[in-house]
């Protein structure tokens, strides 16, 4: 039986051009549940390895991107500080497509309309590969986190309050 051909996204074509290895991994979309936890369950992968892309606006420096594990939430005070802002907030959903070219559930740090400062959580480096959106709902990119960091020129930094180290 022939394998169904997966259409390459703009993000995948950009990685091809940069010579970065990746795998396109389709998953079943549930329009009522666009959470990364659903994506991880569909992929059969640990949620810590499935990263979500968030777009925020700082009061001084404008838009920036945070890439964090799918089950975590950014600490707005922390991301404001690391991005050189006094305060930061998630952009309204209606601004996501015009600002990035992507929709909720299909936003990726690769190939946005304009290159934005990007910050990625250090746990990404704990894995040989991580999953991020390929730029559309229903398709993930599986790639080496170091390749993603280099390509997006991301800063690796904590982006949420870390759990206590003595919790085991």
pLDDT in tens, 44-91: 999 999 999 999 999 999 999 999 999 999 999 999 999 999 999 999
Distance, in Å, from the CA atom of 27 to the CA atom of 68, rounded to the nearest integer, reads 20
pLDDT in tens, 90-137: 999 999 999 999 999 999 999 999 999 999 999 999 999 999 999 999
Range 27-156 has CATH code 3.50.50.60: no
* pLDDT of 157 higher than 70: yes
Looking at residue 167, its pLDDT comes to 39
Distance, in Å, from the CA atom of 135 to the CA atom of 64, rounded to the nearest integer, reads 17
Task: Please say whether the beta carbons of 97 and 17 come within 8 A.
Answer: no
Chain position carrying tokens 């690769």:
110
The average confidence (pLDDT) of the chain is 93
Indicate the length of the chain as a whole number.
168
Distance, in Å, from the CA atom of 21 to the CA atom of 70, rounded to the nearest integer, reads 22
């Amino acid at each position: 039986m022939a394998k169904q051909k997966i259409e390459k996204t703009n993000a995948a074509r950009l990685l091809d051009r940069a010579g970065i290895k990746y795998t396109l991994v389709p998953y079943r979309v549930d329009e009522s549940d666009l959470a990364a936890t659903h994506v991880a369950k569909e992929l059969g992968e640990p949620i810590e390895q499935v990263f979500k892309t968030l777009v925020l606006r700082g009061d001084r420096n404008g838009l920036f991107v945070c890439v964090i594990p799918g089950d975590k939430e950014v600490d707005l005070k922390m991301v404001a500080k690391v991005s050189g802002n006094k305060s930061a907030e998630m952009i309204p959903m209606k601004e996501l497509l015009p600002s990035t070219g992507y929709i909720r559930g299909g936003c990726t740090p690769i190939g946005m309309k304009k290159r934005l400062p990007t910050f990625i959580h250090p746990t990404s480096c704990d894995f040989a590969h991580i999953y991020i959106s390929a730029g559309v709902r229903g398709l993930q990119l599986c790639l080496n986190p170091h390749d993603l960091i280099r390509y997006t020129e991301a800063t690796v930094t904590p982006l949420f309050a870390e759990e206590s180290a003595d919790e085991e």
